[in-house]
Amino acid sequence: MSATGARAAGGALSRRSVLLGAAGTGVAGALTAGLAGCAAAKPDPVPSDTGVEPAVTVQAIDNRYEPAEVEIAEGQAVRWVFAGTNKHDVVAEDGSFVSELIAEGEYVHVFETAGEFPYDCSIHPEMTGRVVVR
The span of 28-36, 91-99, 106-114, 121-129 binding Cu ion (CB under 5 A) equals 121-129
78 dihedral zone (left: phi>0; alpha: psi -120 to 50; beta)? beta
Residue nearest to Cu ion (CB): 121
Under the binding rule (CB under 5 A), the answer on residue 121 touching Cu ion is yes
Under the binding rule (CB under 5 A), the answer on residue 91 touching Cu ion is no
CA distances from 9 to 2, 13, 21, 23, 49 (A): 11, 6, 19, 21, 70
Nearer to Cu ion, 98 or 121 (CB): 121
Nearer to Cu ion, 55 or 63 (CB): 63
Under the binding rule (CB under 5 A), the answer on residue 72 touching Cu ion is no
User: Which residues lie near Cu ion (CB under 5 A)?
Assistant: 88, 121, 124, 127
